[in-house]
Amino acid sequence: TMPDLIQQSLCIFGTGDLGRSLGHRLFQSGYRVVYGSRRPDSCGPVPQGAQVLNHAEAAQSSRIIFLCINREHYSFLQALAPQLNGKVLVDVSNNPEKDMFPEANAVYLQRLLPEAYVVKALNTLSAWGLQNGPSDANRQTFICGDSAEAKQAVSEVCTRLGLLVLDRGGVGASRELEDFPLQLFPMWKLPMRIAVGLSGAFFFYLLIRDVIYTYVYEGKDVSFRILVSLANKVFPIVSLIMLALCYLPGVMAALLQLHRGTKYRRFPDWLDRWMLCRKQMGLVALALASLHVLYTLIIPIRYYVRYRIGALKNQTTEFFNILAWRTDSYYSMGVLGFALFILLGITSLPSVSNALSWREFSFIQSKLGYVTLFLCTLHGYLYGWDKFLHLYSYKWYTLPGYMLSLVVPTVVLGLKLLLLLPCVDRRLTRIRRGWEHTPQDPSVQKLLI
Ligand SMILES: NC(=O)C1=CN([C@@H]2O[C@H](COP(=O)(O)OP(=O)(O)OC[C@H]3O[C@@H](n4cnc5c(N)ncnc54)[C@H](OP(=O)(O)O)[C@@H]3O)[C@@H](O)[C@H]2O)C=CC1
Ligand SMILES: [Cu+2]
């Protein structure tokens, strides 16, 4: 029943942005809020019904005290030690930059007040989010601290606020928690860098081959091709390479396990990091593939293309059956590949993947993923058809872009085929179920003991 809850009061130090929003939410959740402030009589507006006292008095009102104060000012708390000993101090602070201070804020606070129970929580929320009700990113909070009982008390309050509490362990984890809000799309960094790097490299490569070469040898200015023709080469090339890069780490991990003969050993860090951003890598590749589709759809309305069609109007040309087959086959592979690619993208969205069982998810992401890669690679090969036989393909002895884009996907598909060989597959299954390992390996023995 409610009465005991209404009686429970919580204390907040600091009447700034976060202090006010937090107090507002606590009040809405049925708590009595008492603020501790340097200037209890002249502080800014606080939620109605809240009391504002000086720090020492306010501290008496509650066992839990939320410190909505910047870390730089924590030192004044030392003088309040007699009032704060034995209290649960909730550190919500963040720093504007990484590694500004030698120790984490919560660790520093615990050092200032060794007799208090420091709990790190709520720092990944924003004052704005607290005030405006929960959105997805504001629905969970990480929490850490050395006292299980203090953490429990803070967790109860957080749960009442409608937050999902994720325990991260002792106060030593606070550095990690304080770094969270400073991250900007951490998982997207590597894929975006790869996309930008590859796009830039292929753009200049194709600029030299298509535009500069034509200018040097034929004296013709075809620089207008940069905007559509060149873009419609760069995007599919980078997209196909990145799609293959989604599946390369998985294949490499399997090969590594086969080579080591055990799964009880960590992968190198770079492989771990690569595996963790596969989803983002795939979504960037999907975005580029979509651009390729759009650029292809506008081809018929381009002035240059209409001009060429008009110029050919009065010539009667022969119908080549083989050419019809060639174009239709690579278009159809492209359409099917793109459709599956979209399916992969949709099932990687959290709301969709949460509705799938692990088995369904891995079926789509792995089996259908390889089919997608296969279709898109085939699309590339069919686009080339027999062009590799013609000398004009190799301007200045350089390969056309699409040929370069086929290297990584071909390697990945080849290695995957190798892994599908029954004998290899059987051995990998045994290793992954933990039935097989090399006992003389010291790191395995350590794990088994
Ligand atoms: N704003 C946000 O969205 C979030 C903030 N945080 C963290 O919460 C803490 C507070 O942030 P925020 O509310 O935005 O900051 P504000 O600057 O708005 O408020 C800080 C409050 O601290 C008190 N204060 C200021 N100087 C001193 C001092 N020398 N000695 C004692 N108390 C002082 C003041 O309260 P008074 O005048 O009543 O004494 C002041 O209102 C920070 O550590 C921040 O990292 C964490 C997550 C989100
Ligand atoms: Cu294509």
Q: ipTM, 2 decimals?
A: 0.95
What 211-220 contacts at long range (C-beta under 8 Å, 24+ apart), as own/partner pairs, is: 213/395, 213/396
406, HSE (Cβ side, Cα atoms, 13 Å): 18
Query: In the chain, what percentage of residues exceed pLDDT 90?
Result: 62
| Closest Cα to atom 41 of ligand 1 | 16
pLDDT of residue 436: 66
Distance of CA 232 to the CA centre of its chain: 27
Of 72-81, 123-132, 147-156, 371-380, which range is least confident?
Answer: 123-132
Distance CA 1, CA 220 (A): 85
What band does 356 get if pLDDT is binned at 50, 70 and 90? confident
Question: Which ligand has the nearest atom to the CA of 336?
Answer: 2
pLDDT of residue 150: 96
Residue 442 has pLDDT above 60, yes or no: no
| Nearest of 19, 171, 5, 30 to residue 88 by alpha carbon | 171
The CATH number that domain 3-182 falls under is 3.40.50.720
| Closest Cα to atom 7 of ligand 1 | 93
Pocket (CB within 6 angstroms of ligand 1): 14-19, 37-39, 43, 68-71, 73, 76, 92-94, 123, 125-127
| Element housing 33 (H / E) | strand 32-36
Report, as an integer, the average pLDDT of 387-395: 83
Q: What residue ranges do the domains of the chain occupy?
A: 3-182, 186-436
pLDDT in tens, 33-75: 999 999 998 888 888 889 999 999 999 999 999 999 999 999 9
pLDDT of residue 448: 45
Distance CA 396, CA 217 (A): 11
Q: How far is ligand 1, taken at its centre, from the CA of residue 119, in Å? A: 17
SS3 state of residue 288: helix
SS3 state of residue 90: strand
Question: Which ligand has the nearest atom to the CA of 76?
Answer: 1
Q: Which atom of ligand 1 is nearest to the CA of 20?
A: 13
